[in-house]
């Protein structure tokens, strides 16, 4: 006899959760929200290490390697030059591409 009230409560709870889920806004990770709010890509030739760390997928050590590469080898000619930086491969480059740009001439 106690099974029916439990079942009714479970069904009611399920319906309530479904209604809330249907009306709730989608969850957006903070990094994606920040990236969409700041649509302007970061210039690899002007960015400081801290600027690069703001890009999803770039931590402190990778940001440092990017800056050191630029200081040693000169300005990046294209975003594809990131492949020359240790720790960046094809997959990483494709993830970073929307967030970076290279200034022309300087």
- Express each pLDDT in 14-67 by its tens digit: 776 666 666 766 655 555 555 544 569 999 999 999 999 999 999 999 999 999
31 or 72, greater pLDDT:
72
The CATH architecture annotation of domain 30-101 reads: Orthogonal Bundle (1.10)
CA distance 98 to 6: 51
Instruction: Give 83's pLDDT tier (boundaries 50, 70, 90).
Output: very high
């Amino acid at each position: 006899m106690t099974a029916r009230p439990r079942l009714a409560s479970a069904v009611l709870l399920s319906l309530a959760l479904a209604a809330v889920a249907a009306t709730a806004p989608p969850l957006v990770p903070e990094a994606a929200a920040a990236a969409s709010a700041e649509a302007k890509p970061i210039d690899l030739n002007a960015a400081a290490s801290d600027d690069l760390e703001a890009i999803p997928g770039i931590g402190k050590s990778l940001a440092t390697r990017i800056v050191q590469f630029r200081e040693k080898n000169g300005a990046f000619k294209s975003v594809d030059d990131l492949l020359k930086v240790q720790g960046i491969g094809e997959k990483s480059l494709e993830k970073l591409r929307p967030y970076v740009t290279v200034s022309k001439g300087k």
